[in-house]
Structure 1
Amino acid sequence: MTNFSQSLAQELSLRPCQVESAIALLSEGATIPFIARYRKERTGEMDETQLRQLSERYAYLTELEARKQVILESIEQQNKLTPDLKNKILACQQKTDLEDLYLPYRPRRRTRATQAREQGLQPLAAWIEKQNHPQAQPQSLQQQAQQYISAEQGIKATADALKGAADILAEAIAEQAKLRSYVRDTLYKQGEFVSRIKTKYPEGSTKFEMYRSFQARANRIAPHNLLALYRGESEGILSVALACDESPLLAHLESQIIRAKTREIRDFYRTVIEDAFNRLMKPSLTNEVRATCKAIADRESIETFETNLRELLLSSPAGMKPTLGIDPGFRTGCKVVALDQTGQFLEYEAIFPHQAAAQREKAGHTLKRMINKHQIDLIAIGNGTAGRETDSFVAEVLKNLDRKPVKVMVNESGASIYSASEVAIAEFPNLDITVRGAISIARRLQDPLAELVKLDPKSIGVGQYQHDVDQKLLKQKLNDTVESCVNYVGVDLNTASKELLTFVSGITGAIANNIVTYRNQNGVYKNRRQLLKVAKLGPKAFEQAAGFLRIRAGKNPLDNTAVHPESYTVVEKIAQDLQVDLTHISQIPERLQPGDLKRYISDAVGEPTLRDMLAELEKPGRDPRAEFKYATFKEGITELSDLTTGMTLEGVVTNVTNFGAFVDIGVHQDGLVHISQMADFFVQDPKQVVKVGQVVKVRVLEINEKLKRIGLSMRSST
């Protein structure tokens, strides 16, 4: 632990005591959201990002240590473990360096060198190695090799013997850790990815046209470019190579290996080195560098996905109000559902506003009836097929109503996946798949976070090459993001779905199911302590979860705040001293003098926690998400053909990538704001300028109806 603490503290710019405390808490089963929020005193106020970085690096180093022990035991069993080798292994900080040291001792399949040893050529290779010395007396390779000719061993001539010896020497050279490290590093820093479209694909016939003749430095290539190359390669359209000037590499290897002054030995070694490089080093190290570049591209792309997902999950909720959800359609009609202020399904109708005039009129009457009957405040319209046409129809209906609900176009990505999922079937077993989709659209408007957690994040449509990146890492990072968002916002214990509860700190799927079951059987929760009556929810799970669960209008006002039950006595003491009733806890922060806070510091509750508590008491039950805003699409602009160059429109950012942002402007096809068109100043990272869900003003730069591409700009027109 001490060695880890020192190295991790230095690497992450933390104090060793912070590292040790955080690792101890993680080892005890505490979750990262819980530690970040309720154990600030122990960690020195480490935030979630620092804790996740620490957790990842600690796991890496733990795995590295375990691997070192396996390798040490393996080499020791071979009676080849020297003190120097042991020290080198123990000093390794990277898995790559460790595996390089282990390579000569790793159990392997039969190689050309193995066969040469079986032929008795190891002594010849050792003799040649001794000749590779500045003081060695010149001796004939041919004469020495003559001694190893053996029909029984399959060595018919001196050339066969020398070839076998060369294979042994080449393998030894290729397994030298320092040489492998140099070649790997050079390939990464100086190598270039070069791609060509295969000749059977004529110009303009593939989506990889920009990679027809492409090259970029391996250590500088943009993540989206590399992932596109690999996808094109896997689809058989592109040929992709990692090219590097090999002459300097070979010259360096020769300078490190060749010591002899005699020309015969020097020429022999040059051939050996060339074989070691081309046959044994270049293929494996090229693959390693390609894998390293892929891992870097994966991480950067996943980070972009994480950021987009976070912004989407934390999108402003329109609020829990009576809502109509509309899943638009032309031939099959529009599915309309009514939900109450808790998101419960009330009624369903199918309307056909895009067919005959009589059907359109009937659809209008149906819509009016549902709006009036259920006192609808919000109308959520899916932005897929027929979305803009349905939006125009709803606008017509609302013109003649005294009660005018707010209508919003809602991104319906993944709604169809949800509606066919086991989650949706369990929730609405008797409803049609299309009706479930309309319900999901409505709930996304009421509370995006509560609804979107039911989906696999990959189906939401805010990723970049999401099917090409490391799927295990992607799943882990996205789950971390969802967990972080859910705990940041907090969860209403009496309305939350099982799926939402699963992401609350300390709550497993089984416990989430039991929480809902208890609620269904016993009615709404009246206080947080009731959670301890839930099956499988013990004191540890309660400690981890309670602060993130809210009970509105419960017996204790503190249950509707992020104040943890373990700190209730502190708040009660402050309230008593200030003569404030707990029903008016919002008065506590304004009455408490700044200097008085220190009076309540104890071993259990420090100043950071007290500050958090006061901030929470200022607005009990507040939602930390931003105020709700929505885009207003321009009337009459519903199809790509309606656009003209120079037109200024309002839209919503649907995805942010490394090369720009996609914006929904209401024409069924998102437009691209390239990174060069995002601002009047240089933009290095699009995420610093825009975020998913943001309402933006854009200008149409280019329209390509054939390819269905729209070029947009956020720069000033001057």
Structure 2
Amino acid sequence: MAVRAGRRQYEMPLRSELQLCGSVCINIVSEAGASIYSVSPEASKEMPDLDPNLRSAVSIARRVQDPLAELVKIEPKHIGVGMYQHDVSQTLLKATLDSVVEECVSFVGVDINICSEILLRHIAGLNANRAKNIIEWREKNGPFINREQLKEVKGLGPKSFQQCAGFIRFNQEYIKTFCSSKKTELGSHALLTKAGTQGKKKSKPTPCASRQPNPLDQTCIHPESYNIAMRFLSFIGGNASDIGKSDMQTKVNAVIQKEGLEGTAKRLNTTVHTLQLIIDGLTQPEGFDIRTDFDKPDFKRSIVCLEDLSVGTVLTGKVENATPFGVFVDIGVGKAGLIPVRNITEAKLSKVKKRRSLGLGPGERVEVKVLNVDIPRLRITLDLIRVL
């Protein structure tokens, strides 16, 4: 797979590459903000030995793997949020954009043991200092075993813990492997001590020996609701080790079908909303990511630059920007094409995407047909076929 941005200097190498290797696929990735990121303090810290151009390339490639984790490193206004972003209050714009980013990160959740400091800053209840302290704690003490350990982080008080705990995730397999290896090391050390240095005091066990992983930490269930979650597990005859498995879904369905959601909530002395969150957390597979249901990236093979286009070609693309006179769509040739507003009609919009206006929003995937290509002026005119 070759990853390309909208930069013209990448077009010829990729075209030659495709001619030499017909099986190469190209993923269209927006380069918005990559240049700004490449000269930022965060990029210098992450990749101190790389040239800014290479940092940009790395950033663009990472967006294929995990767009959210990479794009949070860039101020939202630098990613391209519209033509008129400079005409509004910059303070209000920043506050609104930051709020949206925080909401997105919270919905997805973060793995506390692999996430970056910048990603942590966008979790509710955390700021730059607390995020930095979490990373320092992790580097000093090793991976977090459970959510309770967050309380040991400097500057992270009860209120901050309450706000952020539900958005922190743990990879249970990784935690179990880590704890097993630590126990093995402890066992070998204890055997050596007993054989060679009898009479000396035994060394204190490491924190891992006294702290156990909690399967509920891999879910969206907040620690405040762990009590209710355990009572619900007992009520359905389930076990915490079965979280995310098909058996758990079967047991939950059987009880809810018999007792009803409201009836079960009353039995557990909780609200229907809390119970539903607990059910979601227990039944979602391990490592569940809300983004799995999102649209997959577009992969292309032959059309990589303006010269490859011809009138009548049908392509898929993503809306890049919307204006009063039309919509610009990234079709993966280094230059966005324009769908004139007269070509956006109600009949071409899907029923589920009907709205008060006929405008298309940034990020929407569309199928388009090329109406005209003006290579000298770098202009592409498109017709909207349908919204995907």
What interval of TM-score do these two structures reach, taking the shorter chain for normalisation?
0.7 to 0.9
Say if 2:319 is the partner of 1:653: yes
Give the alignment partner of residue 631 of structure 1, picking from 260, 278, 298.
298
Partner of 2:154: 535
Partner of 1:387: 10
Give yes or no for contact 1:413–1:460 (8 Å, CA) kept in 2: yes
Give yes or no for contact 2:39–2:52 (8 Å, CA) kept in 1: yes
Give the alignment partner of residue 77 of structure 2, picking from 450, 455, 458.
458
> Using a 3 Å threshold, how does the CA distance of structure 1 residues 446 and 682 change in structure 2: closer, same or farther?
closer
Give the alignment partner of residue 697 of structure 1, picking from 364, 367, 382.
367
Say if 2:39 is the partner of 1:420: yes
> Using a 3 Å threshold, how does the CA distance of structure 1 residues 393 and 495 change in structure 2: closer, same or farther?
farther
Partner of 1:145: none
Say if 2:262 is the partner of 1:615: no
Partner of 2:202: none
- Aligned to 1:391, the other structure's residue is in SS state helix
> Using a 3 Å threshold, how does the CA distance of structure 1 residues 475 and 398 change in structure 2: closer, same or farther?
same
Give the alignment partner of residue 333 of structure 2, picking from 645, 663, 667.
667
Give the alignment partner of residue 65 of structure 2, picking from 446, 468, 472.
446
Letter of the 2:315 counterpart: L
Q: Deviations over 1:393-422 (max 9, x none)?
A: 44456558xxx7x64131111111101011
> Using a 3 Å threshold, how does the CA distance of structure 1 residues 606 and 714 change in structure 2: closer, same or farther?
same
Could you tell me how far 1:381 is from its partner in structure 2? 2.4
- Aligned to 1:681, the other structure's residue is in SS state helix
Aligned mates of 1:687, 1:438 — CA distance in 2: 37
Say if 2:384 is the partner of 1:714: yes
Q: Deviations over 1:546-587 (max 9, x none)?
A: 001111114222111111011111111122233322111233
Count of matched residue pairs? 334
- Aligned to 1:477, the other structure's residue is in SS state helix
- Aligned to 1:413, the other structure's residue is in SS state coil
Give yes or no for contact 1:678–1:714 (8 Å, CA) kept in 2: yes
Partner of 1:267: none
Q: Which moved more, 1:597-606 or 1:619-628?
A: 597-606
1:194-593 equivalent positions in 2, closer than 5 A: 379-396=2-19, 398-399=21-22, 407-553=26-172, 554=175, 555-586=213-244, 587-592=247-252, 593=255
Give yes or no for contact 2:319–2:366 (8 Å, CA) kept in 1: yes
Aligned mates of 1:676, 1:563 — CA distance in 2: 48
Cα RMSD (Å) = 2.8
Listed as ranges, the gaps of 5+ residues in structure 2 are 176-212
Aligned mates of 2:375, 2:17 — CA distance in 1: 28
Aligned mates of 2:360, 2:52 — CA distance in 1: 34
Could you tell me how far 1:504 is from its partner in structure 2? 0.4
Give yes or no for contact 2:327–2:338 (8 Å, CA) kept in 1: yes
Aligned mates of 1:605, 1:682 — CA distance in 2: 46
Could you tell me how far 1:696 is from its partner in structure 2? 2.5
- Aligned to 1:714, the other structure's residue is in SS state strand
Listed as ranges, the gaps of 5+ residues in structure 1 are 1-377
- Aligned to 2:290, the other structure's residue is in SS state coil
Aligned mates of 1:468, 1:407 — CA distance in 2: 36
Partner of 2:210: none
Aligned mates of 2:348, 2:61 — CA distance in 1: 39
> Using a 3 Å threshold, how does the CA distance of structure 1 residues 619 and 407 change in structure 2: closer, same or farther?
farther
Letter of the 2:305 counterpart: T
Aligned mates of 1:446, 1:618 — CA distance in 2: 26
Could you tell me how far 1:688 is from its partner in structure 2? 6.7
Give yes or no for contact 2:303–2:333 (8 Å, CA) kept in 1: no
> Using a 3 Å threshold, how does the CA distance of structure 1 residues 486 and 704 change in structure 2: closer, same or farther?
same
Partner of 1:678: 344
Give yes or no for contact 2:18–2:302 (8 Å, CA) kept in 1: no
Give yes or no for contact 2:326–2:338 (8 Å, CA) kept in 1: yes
The alignment's TM-score, normalised by the length of structure 2, stands at: 0.77
> Using a 3 Å threshold, how does the CA distance of structure 1 residues 453 and 434 change in structure 2: closer, same or farther?
same
- Aligned to 2:243, the other structure's residue is in SS state helix
Aligned mates of 2:242, 2:61 — CA distance in 1: 35
Q: Deviations over 1:206-257 (max 9, x none)?
A: xxxxxxxxxxxxxxxxxxxxxxxxxxxxxxxxxxxxxxxxxxxxxxxxxxxx
Aligned mates of 2:90, 2:215 — CA distance in 1: 43
Letter of the 1:591 counterpart: K
Aligned mates of 1:513, 1:663 — CA distance in 2: 39
The alignment's TM-score, normalised by the length of structure 1, stands at: 0.43
- Aligned to 1:449, the other structure's residue is in SS state helix
Give yes or no for contact 2:27–2:297 (8 Å, CA) kept in 1: yes
Could you tell me how far 1:509 is from its partner in structure 2? 1.0
1:74-223 equivalent positions in 2, closer than 5 A: none
Q: Deviations over 1:86-122 (max 9, x none)?
A: xxxxxxxxxxxxxxxxxxxxxxxxxxxxxxxxxxxxx
Give yes or no for contact 1:633–1:650 (8 Å, CA) kept in 2: no
Could you tell me how far 1:642 is from its partner in structure 2? 4.4
Q: Which moved more, 1:595-604 or 1:555-564?
A: 595-604
- Aligned to 2:27, the other structure's residue is in SS state strand
Could you tell me how far 1:608 is from its partner in structure 2? 0.8
Give yes or no for contact 2:63–2:70 (8 Å, CA) kept in 1: yes
> Using a 3 Å threshold, how does the CA distance of structure 1 residues 589 and 634 change in structure 2: closer, same or farther?
closer
Q: Which has the larger radius of gyration?
A: 1
Aligned mates of 2:146, 2:298 — CA distance in 1: 39
Aligned mates of 1:487, 1:674 — CA distance in 2: 37
